[in-house]
Structure 1
C-alpha cells in the first residue's frame, strides 16, 4: 500500500470542493516519547487513509500534533482507533466551531525533529512541568485580575484578526522568536500572573514549562486554546473575552468567534479579516484581502503577481523555477508594495 499521496494537489482540491459528505475538523496533540516515529507514522497513514481522513499531522520523537478532517459518519470509528493507542486514550479532541467540511484536501503525515518548532533544548528543563490549565470560565476570571498579564503566544498574522482583550501581541513571525521576546517583556514582572493562550494549546504546553524554568512564579495557560474556549463559552453562555476571528492552519484560514472585525484589507485599508493566499503560485503570499480587492487584483497581492497570471503557464513555471520563496506571510517588509495599490 502507498504511504504517501501521489495525486496532484489541484485535482484533490477540486475533489474536496465537490464532496457532499459532511466532515468534522478536529485537532489534537500529545507530548509522548515515541521510540520509532517513522514506523508510527507509516502505520498511522495506512489506518487513517482507510478511514478517509484528510489533514496534516506532524510526528516526532516527542509526540504528535494533528489537524485533520474526518467524515462525520466515521468519527466514532476514528475515535475508537485513536484511543486504541494507550498514550492517546481519552485525549482531548478540539472540534472546529465553524466548519464547512472543506478544511483539508489530502492526508499528509510528516516525521519531524519536533512537533512544534520552538528552538529549545528539551534536555535543559522539565517539559512536563507546565503551567496551570484553565477552562474558559477560569480564564475569564483570571484575565480580570489587575495582577494578570495576558500574552498571545501566536504569530502576528494570527493575532491581527482576533485576540483576547488587553493581551500583549508580540510582532513575530515564528513561535521560536516569541519565546525570547515574551521572556524579555516579562523579566521585571515575574511575580505577576502570566496568562498565556494559543490556537489549540500545544504552543503553551512548551512555553509555560519554559517560563516556569526561567523563574516565573504564577504561570497559567488556556486549556485547549482558543478552539476549546470558543466551544465552552457557547455551551455555557459565557461572555467572550476574545474578539474577532481565530486564525486556523487549514483551507478555512479562520473561525469566527465574535462579529468584531478588528483588521483591515492589506490593499485598500477597509475593515476586513479574511486571509487568503496570493493566486500567483510563484508567490502564494498569505495576506488579508477584501472582496472588492480580490476582484480588482484577480486574487493577487500585487500588480506584479497580477501580471504573472496573464502569462502562459509554461512561462509562469520558468519564473518560479529555482526560486526559494521562504516564509510567505504579510509583514512590514511587504506593506509598501501592497498598500500602494489601494492608493492609486
Structure 2
C-alpha cells in the first residue's frame, strides 16, 4: 500500500494490537469517518461477467466481517485514475501506478493538527490497482487451477481481499496466519473448491477500527494452512501436516499438486489443522469432529473418528495437533482423506457455514 497525504503534521506509523496492524497519526487511528465506502470498478477492466463476479465476491466476503464497516460496489466507471476523489478499482500495466507490485492500494488521507481547532485524522480516498500481466484467475471453484494446488494461477479474490484490507486502514502482518500477509495461501479448501475469506486477524482489526456490528456477527472456520515464517512485511504460510503419534515426520508423496502422507492402516497419527474465530465473541466448548473420507469433500456423512471440544477466542489463530487412528483393513496404495469439521453439530449461529470443513490427504502403505 502507498500513502498520499494532505498537510501532514506528524509521522504516520504502524501500530500493532494483538496480531493485526493498523496506521496511526497524531495518536489517532487512521480510518474513514464513515462506516460505508463506495467502490467504483473500471468499465474496461471489469467488462467481463467473470471478473465482475470475482470483484463482487471479494466485496461480499469483506461484508461478512463482524465490524460495522461495509463496502458498496458499482461498475462502469470510465474515468479511473489516482487522486480524483473517487474510490476506484482497475487493472493496469502502468509501472508507475503499480510501483513494482502485482497489486497495490493507494490511499489518501488527512492528518492535520490545527492547533486551536483540534486534529483531523481521516482516510479520504483509496484506489486499488491490479497488474494486468499477473496470472490472476477470477475462478476458485476449481482448486487445481491455483498455484498451491498444482495450477498456474493466482486467485484474484484473495488479493482483492488483501488490498481492500488496506482500503479500510489495515497494514501488513508478518507474524501470524492472515490475509494481510501472503494472501494466496490464506484460503479455505474443501473438495474441489477454494474459498477466499477475510479471516480472524483481519476481522479483529476491522472491529478495532470500526466497532462491532449490531447484531453481533459470528463465524468459525478451519483450514489446512498455517503460519510458516516472516518474509519482510508479509507472513508466509505453509500447509498443515500429518505426523506420527509422537509428532515425528512421515514420508510423503505429491499427487496432483497435493502432499499425501504415507500411513499404515490402523496407525495412530497426529493431524494438524488451523481453527479461526472470525466473529465478535469467544465461542466456548465448540464441538469439533474428525472424519475419515474416500474423497476430499468432508461432510458429516463421512466416517467419524473422534470428537473434541475447543474454546475459540477471536484475536488468536488456533493451529493445533490432535490424535486420530486410521481405520484398519484398507488396501495398500489407496488414497484417503482425514477431515475435520468445526461445529459439526451445527450448534452455533454463523454468518456462513461454508468454511467449517477441510481435509488432509493420506496414502496407505
More helix by percentage: 1
TM-score under structure 2 length normalisation:
0.25
More strand by percentage: 2
TM-score under structure 1 length normalisation:
0.26
The structure, 1 or 2, with the larger RCO (C-alpha pairs under 8 Å, 6+ apart) is 2
